[in-house]
Amino acid sequence: MSLDARGDVAVVIPAAGAGVRLGPGAPKALRLLDGEPLLVHAVRRAAAATSVRMIVVAAPPADVDAVRTLLTPVAPVTVVPGGAERQDSVSAALAAVPDDIGIVLVHDAARCLAPSDLFERVAATVRDGAGAVIPTLPVVDTIKEVDAGERVLGTVDRSVLRAVQTPQGFDAALLRAAHAAAADSHTDDAGAVEKIGHHVICVPGSDLALKITRPIDLAVATHLLTLASPG
Ligand code: CTP
Ligand code: MG
C-alpha cells in the first residue's frame, strides 16, 4: 500500500506511553484489541483517510524495531523513538514530517477506533482556513467544582463544556511554533496552540474515538468492534 501522492496531510501518532492505568503488561499501544495491537487499529484507520500522505509513529524507544515490523504490512509508516512525556513524543514525530506537508493531525494511539471520516472532517476544516481544529463531544455528566476537602463549590454550566478527542488538526507551521514555545506541559496539542494566542475550532467528534485508558475501556472497544464497521 502506498500513501505517497495522495493528500496534503501527515498524521503523527504518539504511541510511546506505558499504559499504567491499564494495569501491568506491554506498552498500551501494543496491547491487543480483538487480537491486534491498538496501534495497528489506529494506523489502519488513519491510512484509510484519503488525504493522508504520511504517518509518523512515536514508539516506546525499546520497541522501535518491533513496531516497524508490526506496521510494515499495515501501511507505510515512519517510526521514531518517543519521549518521556506525550508532548515529547509528539515533538519527536513532528520533527520527521517534511516541511512541504501543510496539515498535521495529531492522533493518540489510545483512540484506536477513531474512524477515517473523522480524520477527513478535521483535515477539511484545517484546509478551509482554521489553523487548529479539535473533535469534541458534548459533556453528558453533571459537573461539580469542588474544594480540597471534596466540598461542592458549585455546578458548572455544562452547555459550554466540550470533551476533547483526537485526531486534532493543525496548520503545520502553527503546530511547530506552538511546540517550540511550549514551556509547561500540556495534555493536548490544541492547548499549546491556545497558549500562543491562536483560536481553536471545534468540529463534531465520534463515539468511536473513545480513549482506551482503563481496562473497562478495552471491554467497551471490543464490543464496539462487533457493532461498528471498521471506519
Ligand atoms: N504517549 C506517548 N509518549 C508518552 C506518553 C504517552 O506517545 N511519553 C501516548 C500514548 O501512547 C497514548 C497517548 O499518548 O497513545 C495518550 O496518552 P495516555 O492515554 O495517557 O497513554 P499512556 O500514557 O500510555 O497511559 P497511562 O497514562 O495510563 O500510562
Ligand atoms: Mg499517560
Residue position matching grid coordinates 489510545: 110
Res 35: pLDDT: 96
Determine, yes or no, domain membership for 145: yes
Q: Closest ligand 1 atom to the C-alpha of 58?
A: 7
Residue closest by Cα to atom 16 of ligand 1: 108
pLDDT for position 185: 75
Average model confidence (pLDDT) across the chain? 95
Question: In this structure, is residue 21 part of a structural domain?
Answer: yes
Q: CA–CA distance from 159 to each of 139, 141, 145, 208 (Å)?
A: 8, 11, 15, 22
The answer to whether residue 158 is domain-embedded is yes
pLDDT digits (tens, 9 = 90+) for 39-75: 999 999 999 999 999 999 999 999 999 999 999 999 9
Pick the closest to residue 126 from 165, 167, 170 (CA basis): 170
Domain assignment present for residue 4? The answer is: no
Q: Is 14 in the pocket of ligand 1 (CB under 6 A)?
A: yes
Domain count, the chain: 1
pLDDT digits (tens, 9 = 90+) for 81-100: 999 999 999 999 999 999 99
pLDDT at 2: 64
Q: What is the tens place of the pLDDT at every residue in 136-155?
A: 999 999 999 999 999 999 99
Residue 3 lies in a domain: no
Range of the domain at 51: 9-227
Average pLDDT, integer, range 174-198: 90
Residue 199: other Cβ atoms inside 10 A = 9
pLDDT, position 67 = 98
- Alpha carbon of 221 to those of 18, 105, 124, 212: distances in Å? 19, 22, 27, 8
In angstroms, the CA 115 to CA 46 distance is 8
Q: Report if residue 2 sits inside a domain.
A: no
Residue 28 lies in a domain: yes
User: 188 pLDDT band (50/70/90 cuts)?
Assistant: confident
Examine residue 195 and state whether it is found in any structural domain, yes or no. Answer: yes
pLDDT at 5 over 60: no
Q: Which of 108, 185, 218 most suits a substitution to test ligand 1, by most atoms within 8 Å of the C-beta?
A: 108
Give pLDDT tens digits for 120-140: 999 999 999 999 999 999 999
The pTM of the full predicted model, rounded to 2 decimals, is: 0.95
pLDDT at 231 over 80: no
Indicate whether residue 115 lines ligand 1 (CB < 6 A).
no
Element (H, E) at 223: helix 215-227
- Of all residues in the chain, the percent with pLDDT exceeding 70 is 97
What CATH number is given to the structural domain containing 175?
A: 3.90.550.10
Give me the DSSP letters along 101-168: --EEEE--TTSTT--HHHHHHHHHHHHTT-SEEEEEEE--S-EEEE-TTS-EEEEE-GGG-EEE-S-E
Q: 217 in ligand 1 pocket by Cβ < 6 Å?
A: no
